[in-house]
Structure 1
Amino acid sequence: MLFDTKPKTRRADLFDFEEEFSRLSRLINDSLTRLIVVRGLRRTGKTSLVLTTLNELGVPYVFIDVREVVRSRRGLYEVLSRALSDFLRRYSLRKALLNSIIKALSGVRGVRVHGVEVSLNWGRDRPLLTELFREFDGVSSSVGVGFVIVIDEAQRLGGSLGIEVWSAVLTPMIFSEILSS
């Protein structure tokens, strides 16, 4: 597994990240930390570090992968739909959590949930990203489980799409950074 290029998700497969793993674990468990930025040189294991830490801690997370080129609102909302569907599939065994999330998402304009498949309208009736994130916060509070939203390769979101995503994410919060280059 060490030389596999896919991101790692188990600690046994993560090599030489003990200090970063500990720091990231502390930040995730700190209830005051609202935003964590993991940065560093390309292809150094940032995604593996994040996924492994979240899996080891058992923290539910939505993994939004914008490595593929997202140049339109439609592309962004398709990536978000896939990420939310994957999230629901991953946590389908936790019925109470799953039902709370489905109920919250179903109440958002422009969101349709079919089983564990989520589709987001990307046109005029699209859901606001701030509304989606607010619903996740609400579910998190009501079930007493913290969620993490991971935006992998977020620097690729530029222009008006980047502004839309960052405006939804960067509300007043405590900011932490791990893994400087």
Structure 2
Amino acid sequence: MANSTADEILESLKRIEIDATYSAQSYFEAAKSADFWGRFIVFFPALVSAVSGVISTIYSVKFGGVLSAVSGAVAATASFLGANSLSRSYRESARKYTSLRHAARLEISLGANRTIEEREATVRSLSATRDSIIATDEPVSNRLFRRASQRIEGGVTSYQSSP
């Protein structure tokens, strides 16, 4: 009976570790994507504004002035609203999941010397931590989860060094 319970606890810890690994990588992928699009939303309109302003000045084209003003307003609005705030949120979630993964790995490695009751309490604590992270997360898209899965299967989270 005790061996069966110990195996169930070990399986629970492994599930938490795997879930945290995939979640962390998904949120890191989401942070990279949000960072790129956040920068693009600010940079591209600012670039269009600059080019339109130059064209308007050199060729006296009224449309260039209007385009410059609109593009400048879009860039300023995106900058003011904090285009990178979503990226920061995703990165913070990814770090929390990474911390959870490390805690689960540590318990898998070193927990064998503890009592069943202590290990059960640890599993419950790690599960509660995971649930609290999930409760505050913005969900990521399936596309980013698939990208994270491919990277994990490619060894991005492996501790083994390449030859």
Instruction: Determine which structure has greater relative contact order: mean sequence separation of CA pairs < 8 Å that are 6+ residues apart, divided by chain length.
Output: 2
TM-score (norm 2): 0.31
TM-score (norm 1): 0.29
More strand per residue: 1 or 2?
1
